[in-house]
Copies of this chain bind each other. A is one copy, B any other.
Amino acid sequence: MESLKKRILAEGQAIDADILKVDGFINHQVDPVLMTEAGKEFANFFADKGVTKVVTIESSGIAPAMMTAAALNVPMVILKKQPSKKLNPKLYQTEISSFTKEISYELTMSQEFIGENDHVLIIDDFLANGEAATGAIRLLRFAHATIAGVGVLIEKSFQPGRKKLEEQGIEVCSLVRIAKMETNHIELMD
């Protein structure tokens, strides 16, 4: 996606070789025009997959996932990072370790909203080591759902996330792929 590439090069900030800060348009302040376009891109890419639900992980994935769900006209399901006392007690849960945030958390999904007939498109902001996506896939497999694919705004192609997903036969659509980063330097693929 050209507009996202330009934005990352203009406003993204490579803190070091691993951490890309994009909180001016994705993670803290969010550009609705960019997100609308991203949602349409994902909807087009996975148009023939019979997607019935878009799934994302709170909270940075919600904006692009909402726009993807709107473009596909299917519900979005938000995987929660901790069990809420107020939710349905029938939950699927799995533990995730986040490299970027150096924490572990329980990823949680109510059994009510995903079933064996669902074809699920997973949308997130970043794909790096693939912990969040593989965790989401574990949960969705507990529910016997079909994984239609994974769409991310930004892939750090120098980290193994895409490889892990493709080895499981999962199709990945990354709107921008980053080949390499150093402090204050971002190199895109292609």
Interface residues of A, Cβ cutoff 8 Å to B: 15, 19, 21, 23-25, 27-33, 35-36, 53, 58-59, 62-63, 66-67, 69-70, 73-78, 80, 84-88, 100-102, 110, 112-113
Contacts and interface: CB of A to CB of B under 8 A. Distances in A.
Most interface-central of A15, A32, A74 (chain B CB within 10 A)? A32
Most interface-central of A58, A73, A86 (chain B CB within 10 A)? A86
Contacts of A29: 53, 75-78, 110, 112-113
Contact of A23 (B25, B73, B87, B101): B87
B58 A76 contact: no
Nearest to A78: B28
A31 B80 contact: no
Q: Is the interface of A mostly helix, strand, loop or mixed?
A: loop
Contact of A66 (B25, B67, B112): B67
Contacts of A59: 58-59, 62, 78
A66 B30 contact: yes
A114 B101 CA distance: 25
A35 B100 CA distance: 31
A78 B21 CA distance: 15
A159 to B, nearest CB: 16
A7 B10 CA distance: 43
Given A21-B86, A24-B112, A86-B15, A32 B73 contact: yes
B75 A31 contact: yes
